[in-house]
């Protein structure tokens, strides 16, 4: 089931639960207020139906707003049309309530014509033969009339009395709250959906950026390796042949494994060893090369071509034919982290305007893949250049399927 369909189902479940409670509460209220010793057959369903009859207009109003009116704002973003239709719907609802709802106090009667102003009928004699009660007349509001605490000033009605006498006003306000609640729930689920879509777009962007960085690494790597083979052809043709064989192994890795989102740590370390062996053929004993990579590594996944840029830069910028040079590469796994170190000698050289492309790309990949959960340090002095990298065994595979 798609994510959007799941959100729609969750929204409808909320509406279903709320309306089920609304229609169930009158039954529970009448049951709890009645005599528990009475039989179930004495339950007055007419009262329940009477309450349901008052709830049904609100339910119809909700259905119209939820399925026909609210989508105009949520999906089509037409605010003017939505508010116009919603306002007209509330006006029609209020008019219907005013027509079909009777006042809450129909027992109030107009005084008979024979009862003139300030005249009241005599009190009946006490049916039990006792003394007649004093003739206490209602306060007629005339001159000298007494005022009691809680009396409303003349000409002003109590707000509660107005609402009780005009249920259409109260019901219209409840209808407004109902539509607002419905719109709020829809806006919440729309924001959740938009947040998910934004996250998917961000993920897709990261995938494209990582793919672009990977495609930048491969040409950069091939350019350096072919330059090495070109130098060997004139110096030692036999070594050049061996170099081409090593290069074929590396190309097989780049073509079949380097394009994957992840690769096993064993294959990644094997690739490093082949590359270093390729460089040994070129430099022979002129450069001290030390490699400390275990033969058996844990069966974990890592991003492909993650360490090669550091080793490439070490061979490219750490080798000098005029002075002693060295390169030391080490990799180990412990306590849930992979620790990688590459140290090379440092020499005075002309600055290459194209240098550092692979290193820059690798740093971008580290930021995209590991966020702030990795450690990357470069320690540099007059004689050595050291790269230290520590990454967790697991990471966000934003480039995964």
pLDDT tens digits, one per residue of 66-123: 999 998 888 777 888 999 999 999 999 989 888 877 554 544 444 555 544 555 555 5
pLDDT band at 46 (very low <50, low <70, confident <90, very high): confident
pLDDT of residue 395: 59
More confident residue, 301 or 147: 301
Nearest residue to 244 (alpha-carbon basis) of 277, 293, 288, 273: 277
Range of the domain at 335: 219-392
Burial 343-371 (b: 16+ CB within 10 A, else e): bbbbbeeeeeeeeebbeebbbebbebbbe
Cα 306 from Cα 342, distance rounded (Å):
13
165-215 pLDDT per residue, tens: 678 888 899 999 999 999 999 999 988 888 887 777 676 666 656 565 555
Which residues face 388 on adjacent strands? Answer: 341, 377
324-344 pLDDT per residue, tens: 899 999 999 988 899 999 999
pLDDT of residue 204: 60
pLDDT band at 18 (very low <50, low <70, confident <90, very high): very high
- Say if 329 falls within a structural domain: yes
Q: Which two tokens stand for residue 357?
A: 């492309």
Percent pLDDT > 70 in the chain is: 69
pLDDT band at 293 (very low <50, low <70, confident <90, very high): very high
Assess contact for 258 and 293: CB atoms under 8 A: no
- Say if 112 falls within a structural domain: no
- Say if 381 falls within a structural domain: yes
Mean pLDDT in residue range 238-249: 77
Mean pLDDT in residue range 58-65: 93
Which helix H or strand E contains 123, and what residues bound it? none
More confident residue, 156 or 221: 221
- Say if 262 falls within a structural domain: yes
Q: Which two tokens stand for residue 369?
A: 């893949």
Count, in order, helices (H) and strands (E) of the chain.
10, 7
- Say if 339 falls within a structural domain: yes
pLDDT of residue 35: 54
Percent pLDDT > 90 in the chain is: 24
pLDDT band at 260 (very low <50, low <70, confident <90, very high): confident
Number of domains making up the chain? 1
Question: Scanning the structure block, which residue is given the tokens 């509660």?
Answer: 160
pLDDT of residue 251: 75
382-395 pLDDT per residue, tens: 889 999 999 998 75
Assess contact for 30 and 44: CB atoms under 8 A: yes
- Say if 23 falls within a structural domain: no
- Say if 269 falls within a structural domain: yes
- Say if 94 falls within a structural domain: no
**CATH number of residue 354's parent domain:** 3.30.565.10
């Amino acid at each position: 089931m798609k994510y959007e369909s799941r959100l729609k189902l969750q929204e409808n479940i909320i509406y279903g639960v709320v309306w089920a409670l609304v229609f169930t509460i009158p039954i529970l209220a009448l049951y709890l207020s009645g005599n528990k010793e009475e039989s179930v057959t004495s339950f007055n369903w007419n009262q329940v139906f009477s309450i349901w009859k008052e709830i049904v207009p609100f339910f119809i109003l909700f259905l119209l707003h939820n399925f026909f009116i609210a989508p105009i704002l949520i999906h089509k973003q037409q605010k003017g049309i939505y508010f116009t239709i919603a306002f007209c719907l509330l006006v029609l609802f209020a008019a219907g309530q005013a027509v079909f709802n009777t006042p809450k106090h129909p027992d109030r009667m107009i005084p008979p014509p024979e009862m003139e102003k300030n005249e009241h009928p005599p009190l009946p004699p006490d049916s039990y033969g006792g003394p007649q009660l004093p003739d206490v007349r209602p306060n007629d509001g005339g001159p000298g009339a007494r005022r009691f605490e809680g009396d409303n000033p003349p000409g002003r009605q109590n707000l509660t009395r107005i609402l009780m006498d005009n249920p259409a006003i109260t019901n219209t306000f409840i209808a407004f709250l109902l539509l607002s609640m419905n719109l709020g729930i829809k806006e919440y689920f729309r924001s959740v959906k938009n947040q998910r879509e934004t996250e998917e777009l961000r993920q897709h962007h990261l995938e494209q950026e990582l793919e672009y960085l990977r495609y930048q690494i491969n040409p950069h790597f091939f350019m350096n390796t072919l330059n090495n083979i070109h130098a060997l052809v004139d110096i030692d043709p036999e070594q050049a042949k061996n170099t081409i064989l090593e290069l074929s192994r590396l190309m097989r890795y780049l073509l079949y494994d380097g394009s994957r989102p992840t690769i096993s740590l064993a294959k990644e370390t094997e690739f490093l060893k082949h590359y270093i062996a390729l460089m040994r053929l070129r430099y022979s004993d002129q450069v001290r090369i030390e490699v400390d990579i275990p033969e058996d590594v844990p069966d974990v996944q890592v991003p492909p071509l993650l360490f090669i840029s550091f080793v490439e830069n070490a061979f490219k910028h750490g080798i000098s034919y005029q002075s002693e040079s060295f390169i030391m590469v080490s990799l180990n796994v412990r306590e849930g982290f992979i620790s990688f170190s590459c140290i090379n000698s440092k020499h005075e050289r002309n600055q290459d305007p194209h240098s550092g492309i692979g290193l820059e790309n690798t740093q971008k990949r580290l930021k995209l893949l590991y966020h702030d959960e990795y450690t990357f340090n470069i320690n540099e002095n007059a004689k050595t250049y050291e790269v230290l990298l520590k990454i967790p065994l697991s990471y966000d595979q934003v480039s995964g399927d």
